Amino acid sequence: KKLERKRPRDDGSTTSAERAEDEPVRLSIPFDACISKLMAPEIIEGFYSSAMKARGNARKTVFMKTMPDYLVLHLRRYYVDNDWTVKKLDASVHVPLELDLECLRPLNGGGLQPGEQLLPEEEPSNVAAPDAVQSSSTTASHPVPDPAIVAALMEMGFSEHGSKRAAIATNNTGTEASMQWVFEHMEDPDFNDPLPEQQASLATTGAASAAFNADDVNMLVTMGFTERQAKAALQACDKMLERAADWLFSHSDDLESAVAQVENQASTTAGGTSASSAPSALNKSFHDGIGKYELIGMISHMGSNTSSGHYVAHLRREGTWVLFNDEKVAVSENPPFDSGYMYLFRRKQ
């Protein structure tokens, strides 16, 4: 028979101190500590220095050159436990209703900071990580990701390119180290981009890189899409069938425009210029202003871990906070400002 330990009923003889000991203690983290962590220098191991002609440690510091009109802050409340399960960090983070991020703006408007020098423009020729796995079909300047690590990360739901980047960044030391790197860098803008040597290969192979699996194309066509739309979806999703199907349905409102954008990016890459470096309206100009913001919305998670619970949203409307819980909408008297997962700020006028 399974024995269960039950808390004795409080008949009035239990003191307040004893009751306090039974209550769980919730970690309280100042928001300033999160900002300090963001601004703190990060050590990058295995960085190739064109000045030293060798690999070593580099220091990376985060700044904000421009301050957007709207700012989304993501609190990393989820972590991977020792048993490889994703768990939630139940902590109270006191996010302020007004935020000043001018401390994140670099000196002299960005660029080189005092005491810094540009590295010489040189590609790492024959320098590779000492424990990187090499392939006879790949030059020594490009380390090869361990297929076992990449497969393990992809089984967890991460993209192929992101998994390869994690394996190479950790010198193929193992799945645990790669998983930790993924959770630290999954918000990087180039996390899902092909590796630099793969991008160069795509630019030189031209039309040969546009080959698609005929069965995958036919499967999408049977769902009611044209062959052109199916190929564009596969192109946009690293030729992964399930992701391509989701891409098609998520862009159904303006599918032709999305297909044309994918085709334009593919033709630009084939012409020798990556899509990220092609001129666009996004990188021609930025809205910049004073880095003072006010909180207007947040998303919070109710539950103990990522596999259970529920997400709700709070928005501020005309000075009043409103709770959005699926189809239920109500005024929120006490919004959980310290328990949010994502916060939306708007620049103060």
The predicted pLDDT at position 197 comes to 61
The predicted pLDDT at position 99 comes to 92
**Confidence tier at 186 by pLDDT (50, 70, 90):** confident
pLDDT digits (tens, 9 = 90+) for 125-173: 444 444 444 433 444 456 788 888 888 888 777 888 888 888 888 888 8
Residue with the two structure tokens 């919004």: 335
Q: How many CB atoms lie within 10 A of CB 212?
A: 16
The predicted pLDDT at position 276 comes to 42
User: Is 164 exposed, middle or buried (CB count within 10 Å of its CB: 0-12, 13-18, 19+)?
Assistant: buried
**Confidence tier at 265 by pLDDT (50, 70, 90):** confident
User: Is 62 exposed, middle or buried (CB count within 10 Å of its CB: 0-12, 13-18, 19+)?
Assistant: exposed
The predicted pLDDT at position 219 comes to 84
Cβ contacts of 133 within 8 Å, gap of 6 or more: 143, 144, 145, 146, 172
The predicted pLDDT at position 325 comes to 93
Find the range with the poorest average confidence among 56-60, 93-97, 102-106, 202-206. Answer: 202-206
Q: Check the CA dihedral 150-244-191-209 and report its sign.
A: positive
Find the range with the poorest average confidence among 202-216, 268-282, 296-310. Answer: 268-282
pLDDT digits (tens, 9 = 90+) for 60-100: 888 888 888 999 998 888 877 787 777 788 889 989 999 99
Residue with the two structure tokens 């040969």: 208
Check: CB of residue 64 under 8 Å from CB of residue 291.
yes
pLDDT digits (tens, 9 = 90+) for 300-332: 988 877 677 889 999 999 889 999 999 999 999
Helix (H) or strand (E) holding 184: helix 175-185
The predicted pLDDT at position 95 comes to 92
d(CA 245, CA 52): 47
The predicted pLDDT at position 22 comes to 62
The strand pairing partners of 56, in sequence order, are 47
**Nearest CA among 204, 69, 45 for reference residue 129:** 45
Give the β-pairing of 91-94 and 86-88: unpaired
Q: What average pLDDT does the segment 331-345 reach?
A: 91
Helix (H) or strand (E) holding 321: strand 320-325
Please give the mean pLDDT across all residues of the chain.
Answer: 77
The predicted pLDDT at position 272 comes to 52
Q: What average pLDDT does the segment 268-287 reach?
A: 50
The predicted pLDDT at position 293 comes to 94
